[in-house]
Structure 1
Amino acid sequence: MPIAAMTIELRIENAASLKDRRQVVRSLKEKLGHGFNISIAEMDEAVTWQSATLGVVAISRSRDYLSGLMKQVEDATNRITNGLGAQVTELWWEFIEADGENE
């Protein structure tokens, strides 16, 4: 069964504190989580106030569905981050095949 895994790297230029950074990350996670059937989590510790890395995963029986979903998530991420005063510096995703067998 295919799993789509996406990594989103953000630059938050206007973040002057950890609180500013958290506000952007929390807002993006909430908006993506409510808009799509995905799981999303912060992948790094707050090394700097101006950057963040998020991970997104989705599972489906259909690779075509997942491809479309990841494109929608990418478009929404760019739109939402622009509205939050942040920008996507890198975004990529890949399929991870799960064979469904227990080891």
Structure 2
Amino acid sequence: MSIVLLQLRLRLESRNLKEKRAIVKSILSRARNRFNVACSETDFHDISDDAVLSFVTVADSATGGKRVMQDLESWLVEERPDVEVVELQVDEL
């Protein structure tokens, strides 16, 4: 069993915290449903155009978990052109 963590720092096209919350909430709920991951906003809560989102999955192997995270990142880039991935970190726990 392997636990894989993906942290994404995102630049958002939002002008205020209300718009940011709508974008973040949409990304998190769709990622949960599509990839069966646990996820949360973990940093920059009070900055309207920046966010750090963390995603965690448990898989049979590290390779399988990393593949889920790669698929999640690809999906986010394709699905949300209004969001720019500034930094990415993948860790096996």
Q: With the length of structure 1 as denominator, give the TM-score of the two structures.
A: 0.82
**What's the counterpart of residue 6 of structure 1?**
6
Name the aligned partner's letter for residue 46 of structure 1. H
Q: Percent identity?
A: 24
**5+ long unaligned stretches in structure 1:** 97-103
Larger proportion of strand: 2
Aligned-residue Cα RMSD (Å) equals 1.3
Q: 1:36, 1:71 → 2: CA distance?
A: 11
**What's the counterpart of residue 66 of structure 1?**
65
**What's the counterpart of residue 26 of structure 2?**
27
Q: 2:51, 2:80 → 1: CA distance?
A: 12
Aligned length: 93
**What's the counterpart of residue 49 of structure 2?**
50
Q: Please identify the structure whose Cα radius of gyration is greater.
A: 1
**1:43 counterpart SS class:** strand
**What's the counterpart of residue 85 of structure 2?**
88
**5+ long unaligned stretches in structure 2:** none
Q: Deviations over 1:46-99 (max 9, x none)?
A: 2310000011000122222112111111101212331xx221111121111xxx
Q: 1:6, 1:64 → 2: CA distance?
A: 13
**1:40 counterpart SS class:** strand
